[in-house]
């Protein structure tokens, strides 16, 4: 009775845990591209695959690992388990993911797509299909952001605008944030592949058919090394990720340069307003200075000058003439001190070492075409 009493709570707890264990919606692809759908509990699935429970603990991370002759790929929301015979996609209920699964993946696994690994074992086609989908998704995000950013920058970098549209700045801020997230995702993807390329043993383990099918060893001895094929496959997508990251960085540099031009334009307009304000202040000072004569004649004091009818026009003329002369003098003083300094004298030895003017113009034009912005704005300001 004591033994029965001790085992009863254990059986109850196991039944409770089994009832609440997560259920995976699984899509299965075989070598011919045939598709089946089913739902299975996590405990049953990892027991059938010969895996541990932690192997199917999918977080939104990116990794490629091998366990018990199985390849476990985590591409954020894309979760896959690859065997030499079939491919399992877990939790596939996603609109964009379902479109790719139903329209492209089946044909690629059957060798009808444009994958270069159609003549290699099944796991090569599965790995390339998943990597191709992910790099295409990253490229699509970049090619969606690029025209939006260029259009916004073209609207902002305009020397005729006296102010900056806040709505455009808000759009540029949102696009810059999306670009930063894209750069992070591409870096994680590239580092994930680089970790595998640095480990030769992991590359060997990714060749599942090499350990299960004896004929694969015969093909390897005849000149086809599947480990080298796997390495070339990973290097191809590593280079694509690196090129994509370079394009994102160029777009980031373009945003930074455009922000500098925007600040220069705003500073130029601000300087114009400050110069106009200073000129008006000088004019007010000049008029006020000679206005003291009118104040003197406006006092209730008698003198012999008010009896002369010509004295009014004489005093008024002196006031306007003196105010104009002082204002002109102040403006000339302001112009001398605000003129840019002359360039320093260049010795004859340094002049000989400078490149020709035509080459400098070509270099400037090429630089302007690279960034897609006209440098004439900066030169004028």
**Which H, E and C letters describe 164-218, residue by residue?**
CCHHHHHHHHHHHHHHHHHHHHHHHHHHHHHHHHCCHHHHHHHCCHHHHCHHHHH
pLDDT at 159: 59
Identify the band that residue 340 occupies on the pLDDT scale cut at 50, 70 and 90. low
Q: Say how many CA atoms lie within 13 Å of 289 toward its Cβ.
A: 15
pLDDT at 325: 82
Phi, psi of 327 (to 5 degrees): -65, -40
**Which H, E and C letters describe the chain, residue by residue?**
CHHHHHHHHHHHHHHHHHHHCCEEEEEEEECCCCEEEEEEEHHHHHHHHCCCHHHHCCCCCEEEEEECCEEEEEECCEEEEECCCEEEEECCCCHHHHHHHHHHHHHHHCCCCCCCCCCCCHHHHHHHHHHHHHHHHHHHHHHHHHHHHHHHHHHHCCCCCCCCCHHHHHHHHHHHHHHHHHHHHHHHHHHHHHHHHCCHHHHHHHCCHHHHCHHHHHHHHCCCCHHHHHHHHHHHHHHHHHHHHHHHHHHHHHHHHHHHHHHHHHHHHHHHHHHHHHHHHHHHHHHHHHHHHHHHHCCCCCCHHHHCCCHHHHHHHHHHHHHHHHHHHHHHHHHHHHCCCCCCCCCHHHHHHCCCHHHHHHHHHHHHHHHCCCCHHHHHC
pLDDT exceeds cutoff 70 at 173: yes
Identify the band that residue 359 occupies on the pLDDT scale cut at 50, 70 and 90. very low
Q: Do residues 62 and 189 touch, judged by C-beta distance below 8 A?
A: yes
Average pLDDT over residues 87-111: 79
Identify the band that residue 244 occupies on the pLDDT scale cut at 50, 70 and 90. very high
Query: Sign of the C-alpha dihedral, residues 306, 308, 313, 319?
Result: negative
Query: Distance (Å, rounded) from C-alpha 59 to C-alpha 45?
Result: 17
Q: What value does the mean pLDDT of the chain take?
A: 75
Q: Do residues 129 and 115 touch, judged by C-beta distance below 8 A?
A: yes
Domains and CATH numbers, the chain: 21-115 (2.40.128.330)
pLDDT exceeds cutoff 70 at 229: yes
pLDDT at 245: 93
pLDDT at 338: 59
Query: Sign of the C-alpha dihedral, residues 51, 54, 58, 60?
Result: negative
Average pLDDT over residues 240-268: 86
pLDDT at 351: 42
pLDDT at 138: 93
Residue 99 CA, chain-centre distance (Å), reads 26
């Amino acid at each position: 009775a004591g033994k029965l009493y001790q085992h009863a709570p254990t059986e109850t707890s196991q039944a409770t845990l089994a009832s609440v264990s997560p259920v995976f919606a699984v899509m299965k692809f075989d070598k011919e591209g045939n598709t089946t759908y089913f739902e299975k509990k996590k405990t049953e699935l990892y027991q059938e695959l010969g895996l541990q429970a932690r192997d199917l603990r999918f977080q939104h991370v990116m990794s490629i690992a091998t366990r018990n002759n199985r390849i476990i790929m985590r591409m954020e929301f894309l979760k896959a388990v690859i065997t030499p015979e079939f491919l399992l996609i877990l939790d596939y209920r996603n609109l964009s993911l379902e479109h790719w699964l139903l329209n492209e993946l089946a044909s690629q696994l059957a060798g009808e797509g444009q994958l270069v690994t159609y003549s290699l074992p099944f796991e090569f086609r599965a790995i390339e299909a998943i990597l191709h989908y992910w790099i295409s998704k990253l490229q699509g995000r970049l090619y969606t952001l690029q025209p939006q950013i260029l259009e916004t920058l073209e609207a902002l970098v305009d020397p005729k605008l006296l102010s900056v549209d806040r709505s455009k700045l808000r759009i540029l801020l949102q696009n810059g944030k999306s670009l930063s997230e894209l750069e992070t995702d591409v870096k994680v993807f590239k580092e994930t592949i680089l970790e595998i390329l640095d480990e030769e043993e992991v590359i060997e383990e990714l060749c599942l058919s090499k350990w299960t099918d004896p004929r694969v060893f015969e093909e390897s001895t005849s000149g086809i090394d599947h480990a080298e094929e796997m390495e070339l496959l990973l290097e191809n997508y590593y280079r694509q990720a690196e090129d994509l990251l370079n394009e994102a960085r160029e777009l980031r540099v373009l945003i930074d340069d455009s922000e500098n031009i925007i600040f220069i334009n705003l500073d130029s307009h601000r300087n114009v307003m400050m110069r106009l304000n200073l000129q008006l202040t000088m004019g007010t000072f000049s008029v006020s200075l000679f206005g003291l004569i009118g104040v003197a004649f406006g006092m209730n004091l008698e003198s012999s000058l008010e009896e002369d009818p010509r004295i009014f026009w004489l005093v008024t003329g002196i006031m306007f003439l003196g105010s104009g002369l002082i204002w002109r003098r102040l403006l000339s003083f302001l112009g001398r001190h605000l003129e840019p300094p002359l360039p320093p004298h260049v010795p004859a030895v340094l002049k000989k070492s400078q490149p020709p003017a035509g080459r400098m113009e070509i270099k400037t034009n090429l630089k302007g075409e690279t960034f897609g912005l006209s440098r004439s704005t900066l030169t004028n300001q």
